[in-house]
Amino acid sequence: MTDDTAPLSGADIIRNFVKTLPASPGVYRMYDGEGEVVYVGKARNLKARVTNYTRPEGLDLRIRRMIDATRNMEFVRTETEAEALLLEANLIKRLKPRFNVLLRDDKSFPYILIATEHEAAELRKHRGSRSKQGHYFGPFASALAVKRTINALQRAFLLRTCSDSFYRARTRPCMLHQIKRCSAPCTSEISIADYNELVSEARQFLSGKSKVVQEHLASDMNAAAENLDFERAALLRDRLSALALVQSTGDVVARSVEEADVFAISHEAGQFCVQVFFFRAYQNWGNHAFRPRADASLPEAEVLEAFLSQFYEDRLPPRLILISHELAERELIEEALSARAGYRVHIQTPQRGEKKELVGHALTNAREALGRQLAEGATQKTLLDGVATLFGLDDPPRRIEVYDNSHISGTNAVGAMIVAGEEGLSKKHYRTFNIKSTDIAPGDDFGMMREVLTRRFTRLANESPLDSDDDQSGMPDWPDVVFIDGGAGQLNAVREVIAELNLPREVTFIGIAKGEERDAGREKFHIEGREAFMLPHRDPVLYYVQRLRDEAHRFAIGTHRARRKKDITKNPLDDIEGIGPARKRALLQRFGSAKAVSRAALADLASVPGVSSALAQQIYDHFNGGN
């Protein structure tokens, strides 16, 4: 006798959706029982593609697990498969399903912008959307590469880098003009027409026409020397040297590739690394290593294919993309990227010549970066195994949290949390806590730690269920081990907090008491159920825990100093409701300082432009106690 009330399997649920699906392009989402998206996919034919999931017997383990987890599906129909590809990439980046390949460490790359909103164009670094009028050049792999290039361009083309407000306020040239890094159009040391010639040369150089610009400068330098204008000849010589410096940056220069992004992927020990090189104007503008999260069973080409779609989801691609592996859907990705960019984009897997050399260089860098990551991970794994052994844990911890407080006589008190895991310190997970309680006596470290841990674990219990997935970096939400800077007293205070919270899972708390005369290496460790103990001198785990404690201390002090500095520089006018930047500026221009405002008569306050009688009374009452 069968049980008609037995829950449907994932394959059965998917089979019910197939009956009504169209044979057209689109995107599908698969949901688990908690309503979380577990997978996003696209298809040229939705009905045919989803039908494959109704026969899980011939599919690999990852897909079978995904099917078993499915409890609901949603579909979006698109006009073309290229549109479906773009939508799929957008949804994956936004929803981060656990069965998709995820671009974990996505970042925005900086550009060089020649802003043309002002009559004298400005040279600057730019990130984000291209909302400003001007000419964009990039991307560069790092802010340092942009800064280095801008410095060289200043010497080569003497373009201004100051803000428009600074430009308007000049009555004489600034220091940059004195050191020959700006032509000073602000004070008419150069005419706007001649300045625009420099702007045009800079644009040509950044667009790849460097040889034309250099030949022109060399010709002018020779002509100046023949006319005995040695000062101008020396200036042109320095500009040529600066251009040579720009061209020499980077370890690889493309002789025949004007503009391209180069991708190479490496896979080892279940981890992937994608190395990206940016070539613009025949120059290497830097590289960056990405570590996408993907199932270890996936082939490198499939991971690279998913990576490309997400990488260009919010970036404009160049006209040429060079890759290390042939892609099954290369033409489809080309079509989608071309439609988004508005020009033809080509994806190639070169087999010979300089393009193959560029890809080979990227592949070498990908393998080396992955090798370094695995070596560091092996060292970290050894340390975490040691932590588990020495502190009596069942398993090596995946997430360690360390807490510390910082204050001066109770003022500007802050709590700090640092996080470490299988890949070392994870600064993206660091947190600070401004101590809010008014019941804590100044300098009460126990009270501060009690507040910090109460806030931290109350929120964690409310927002992160025990079965929640790791985040994009692979870091779990719940800590396995928590180190507290303090001895038995601090640990007892922590136990009281944890007992009151009644946490849904067990967390090991360990107190670190400083040694005699605060001697590093003589620390005593306090853990529930054991007598206080010391770790062997020169033990790698001891050094590791010391580094974690010192990092928490550094982070807490840095946060405290930043908060104290903010309070020191805070203007008393900021505490008065209704006074924004414009009114504060008007008051300071009229009276000279906040102290003078505090002494002003009511009638004088009311005479300030933008200050009404009611606001003047409010300001007066604020400084005079309402009397």
pLDDT digits (tens, 9 = 90+) for 87-131: 999 999 888 898 999 987 667 788 889 999 888 999 999 887 788
Assess contact for 278 and 287: CB atoms under 8 A: yes
Print the SS3 string covering 239-284: HHHHHHHHHHCCCCCCCCCCEEEEEEEEEECCEEEEEEEEEECCEE
pLDDT at position 567 is 58
Q: Round to whole Å and give the CA distance between 55 and 265.
A: 32
- Domains plus CATH for the chain? 10-95 (3.40.1440.10), 111-248 (no CATH), 259-371 (3.30.420.10), 391-567 (3.30.420.340), 572-624 (1.10.150.20)
pLDDT for residue 230 is more than 60: yes
Report residue 505 as tokens.
């899972």
- 456-504, pLDDT tens digit by residue? 888 888 876 655 555 656 788 899 999 988 788 888 888 888 888 877 7
Mean pLDDT computed over every residue of the chain: 84
If you write DSSP's letter for every residue of 44-60 in order, what string do you get?
SSHHHHHHGGG-GGGS-
| Averaged pLDDT, 27-50 | 93
**How high is the pLDDT of residue 57?**
81
* 373-382, 439-448, 490-499, 574-583: the lowest-pLDDT one: 439-448
Please tell me which residue, 274 or 594, carries the higher pLDDT value: 274
- Gap between the Cα atoms of 381 and 612, Å rounded: 66
pLDDT mean over 184-203: 90
Q: How high is the pLDDT of residue 244?
A: 65
pLDDT of residue 626: 57
Task: Give the span between the Cα atoms of 161 and 202, in whole angstroms.
Answer: 13
Type of residue numbered 566: K
Cis peptide, bond prior to residue 504, ω within 30 of zero = no
pLDDT tens for 561-580 read: 777 666 555 667 777 877 88
Rounded (10°) CA dihedral 601, 606, 607, 610: 140
Q: What is d(CA 382, CA 29) in angstroms, rounded to the nearest whole number?
A: 40
More confident residue, 565 or 272: 272
Coil/strand/helix, residue 411: strand
Task: Put residue 456 in one of left, alpha, beta given phi > 0 → left and psi -120 to 50 → alpha.
Answer: alpha
- The CA-atom distances, in angstroms, between 293 and each of 171, 377, 586 are 56, 16, 54
Q: Strand, coil or helix: what is 360? A: helix
- Report d(CA 216, CA 212) in Å as an integer: 6
Backbone phi, psi, residue 277, to 5° = -110, 140
Instruction: Flag whether pLDDT at 593 surpasses 80.
Output: no
Burial 373-382 (b: 16+ CB within 10 A, else e): beeeeeebee
**From 48-62, 66-80, 234-248, 524-538, the region with the lowest mean pLDDT:** 234-248
**140-174 per-position pLDDT tens digit:** 887 877 888 888 788 878 899 998 888 888 888 88
pLDDT of res. 272: 92
- CA angle, 96 then 99 then 105, to 5°: 45
CA distances for 6 relative to 9, 51, 66, 484, angstroms: 9, 23, 20, 49
Higher pLDDT, 627 or 529: 529
Q: What is the pLDDT of residue 568?
A: 55
Confidence class for position 308, pLDDT limits 50, 70, 90? very high
pLDDT at 443 exceeding the cut of 80? no
- What integer pLDDT is reported at residue 242 of this predicted model? 63
Judge contact between 64 and 56, C-beta under 8 A: yes
Contacts of 499 (CB under 8 A, 6+ apart): none
Tokens, residue 16: 């019910």
Tokens 């844990």, residue? 393
435 pLDDT tier (thresholds 50, 70, 90): confident
Distance CA 334, CA 317 (A): 10
Most confident segment among 386-400, 423-437, 608-622:
386-400
The size of the chain, in residues, is 627
Which comes out higher in pLDDT, residue 312 or 575?
312
Q: pLDDT tens across 339-370, in order?
A: 988 999 999 999 999 999 999 999 999 998 88
- Find the range with the poorest average confidence among 191-200, 425-434, 500-509: 500-509
What is the percentage of the chain residues whose pLDDT exceeds 70?
88
- The pLDDT of residue 598: 82
Strand pairing report for 111-115 and 122-126: antiparallel
Nearest to 173 by CA among 189, 150, 151, 195: 189
pLDDT at 434 > cutoff 50: yes
CB 201 within 8 A of CB 118: no
Position with higher pLDDT, 128 vs 15: 15
Query: In this model, does residue 1 exceed pLDDT 50?
Result: no
pLDDT at res. 2: 47
Backbone angles phi, psi at 343, to 5 degrees: -150, 165
Strands (E) located in 328-398: 346-348
The per-residue b/e assignment along 18-48, b for 16 or more CB within 10 angstroms, e otherwise, is beebeebbbbbbbbbeeebbbbbbbbbebbe
Residue 299 DSSP code:
-
Q: Is the pTM of this model over 0.75?
A: no
